[in-house]
Structure 1
């Protein structure tokens, strides 16, 4: 991995302003991990190395966001995925936009949220969250092999009990960003 790419990823993480104490802890731990020289990308499924980068990107309009009913996770999630070796997280978002939703060429802003989540008891996802402002009229073609459904939810009707555990915190932060 190039030192320039590691520095760019570190800068992306360091620029995130934490919402709360938990995010501040996640940011500090993630910066220490990046600075340690550890491998940042998953090389083999499901968990090699056991800590690696992933992304979520939420398509957001003025009143809600798009979630997908993920077949393997059994949860409503923002779209996203693991960052490929040698890839910047923003490039992963652009790639996953096409793979998961059939969308080309949306600008990808800086990450606005970061979480560290243990997945299935065997690895840790260091996840950069991106909010992509779009219209609900944007044509989508969701990956039916990975998702049961893709659906827009108004902010006051998000399925928190059946979703990613940090989704409510992300939406709280998003409300501050949008305001």
Structure 2
């Protein structure tokens, strides 16, 4: 049995993990009003005591925690996108967070599985999430992904293979080129993420 507490957190055996997630959300500086709304929605969901992890593919529970990792070539200002077979879109790499798994550990695991390279934190955000989205998926088994977006550092010469079972192809695009791509071929928040990334790179 879980109960709400005054701090907005949840009392229960997984309270430390939920508190950790809320701290991560508090560290994300909203890019726009939509991200501000998504952050509030995600914090409320985490504090509600709802199941956070996918326990049965593709849509049980209807909302679950996901990590994206955007691989950035900092010198060339290019990002790596993958053509995801099931989604039919060009996306960052990523996957579902396992029960009680720290989101950064999920990034490390998924990066090794999908791109066969270590997860190296970028100078933009280090090991902290840079962006957050709440997205209703499309197609069969529709559900809602609460996604923490991380930025990693690598180069095209480092990434020499990928998980061909999950991805049809991968490609490097300049951040400006990403903004020129049709929105309906990308994750629905990819343009917004790229705008935030460009601003952060300019500050850095």
Q: TM-score w.r.t. structure 1 length? A: 0.94
- Separation in 2, partners of 1:118, 1:95: 24
- Separation in 1, partners of 2:153, 2:199: 15
SS at match of 2:19: helix
Q: CA deviation at 1:133?
A: 2.1
Match of 1:10 among 10, 19, 22: 22
- Separation in 1, partners of 2:71, 2:174: 12
8 Å contact from structure 2 (residues 67, 94) kept in 1: yes
Partner of 2:172: 152
Q: CA deviation at 1:38?
A: 1.1
Partner of 1:164: 187
Task: Answer with 1 or 2: which has the greater Rg.
Answer: 2
Q: CA deviation at 1:151?
A: 1.0
Partner of 2:158: 138
Match of 2:133 among 88, 105, 115: 115
- Matched pairs, number: 179
Structure 1 runs of 4+ aligned residues shifted over 3 Å read none
- Separation in 2, partners of 1:46, 1:98: 22
| 1:19-75 deviation line (CA, Å, top 9, x unaligned) | 000000000011111111111111111111111101111001232100001111111
Q: CA deviation at 1:91?
A: 1.0
8 Å contact from structure 1 (residues 39, 49) kept in 2: yes
Partner of 2:103: 89
Q: TM-score w.r.t. structure 2 length? A: 0.83
Q: Which runs of 5+ in 2 are unaligned?
A: 1-12
- Mapping for residues 50-61 of structure 1, pairs under 5 Å: 50-61=62-73
8 Å contact from structure 2 (residues 119, 153) kept in 1: no
Larger RCO (alpha carbons 8 Å, 6+ apart): 1
8 Å contact from structure 2 (residues 134, 147) kept in 1: yes
Q: CA deviation at 1:105?
A: 5.0
SS at match of 1:59: strand
1:22 matches 2:42: no
Q: Which runs of 5+ in 1 are unaligned?
A: none
Q: CA deviation at 1:79?
A: 0.5
- Separation in 1, partners of 2:32, 2:42: 15
